[in-house]
Amino acid sequence: MPTGFITNLYVFVLAGFVGFEVIRRVSPLLHTPLMALTNALDAIVVVAAIIIAGRQGTALSATLGAIAVAAAFSNMVGGFLITDRMVRMFKLSGRERKQS
């Protein structure tokens, strides 16, 4: 078993717990923006796709890489865009706004 796997497993387990604790605190009001935002963050796979599309390799891997770049980048752009549109819509009522 490669040592890289063990290190990645540490990272995965810790990140899972961080994710669990942070996301548990997200108000149910914002569960739809949450899903849109995590989609956009998950689109970070685009960095792996860029390497595969642009490195020295076969035509097949470059093609698969390029499609992956387009698919992931569309999520990144669209995900942040729609999350921002949604969270901008959440406003307090007049009375509450004056108090805060």
Partner 1 sequence: MTTAQYLPDFVYIAAIALFVLSLRWLSSPATARRGVLAGEIGAALAVVTTLFNPELVQYRWIIIALAGGAAIGIPLGMVPMTAVPQRTAMSHAFGALAAALIGISEYYMRLPNINKFEMTEIALEVIIGSLSFTGSLIAAGKLQEILPQRPIVYKGQNYVSLSVLAAAIILALMLIFNPVRTAVFPLMVVISLFFGFLLVMPIGGADMPTVISLLNSYVGFTAALLGFVLNTKVLVVAGALDGASGFILSVIMCRAMNRSFTNVMFGAFGQLQVSAAGTVEERSVRTATPEDAAAILEAANYVMVVPGYGMAVAQAQHKVREFYDALTKRGIDVKFAIHPVAGRMPGHMNVLLAEADVPYDKLIEMEDANTEFPQVDVALVIGANDVTNPAARTDKSSPIYGMPILEVEKARTVMVIKRGMSPGFAGIDNQLYYLDKTLMLFGDAKNFVGNIVRELTSGGGH
Q: Least distance from C-beta 4 to partner 1, angstroms?
A: 5
Q: Least distance from C-beta 21 to partner 1, angstroms?
A: 9
Q: Least distance from C-beta 10 to partner 1, angstroms?
A: 10
User: Interface with partner 1 includes 6 (CB under 8 A)?
Assistant: no
User: Interface with partner 1 includes 11 (CB under 8 A)?
Assistant: yes
CA 1 remoteness from chain centre: 29
> Distance between CA 74 and CA 40 in Å, rounded?
9
Q: Least distance from C-beta 5 to partner 1, angstroms?
A: 7
Residues 27-66 vs partner 1: string with x where CB under 8 A? xxxxxxxxxxxxxxxxxxxxxxxxxxxxxxxx-xxxxxxx
| Cβ burial 35-63 (10 Å sphere, 16+ → b, else e) | ebbebbeebeebeebbebbeeeeeeeeee
Tell me the number of residues near partner 1 by CB under 8 A.
85
| 8-state DSSP, 44 | G
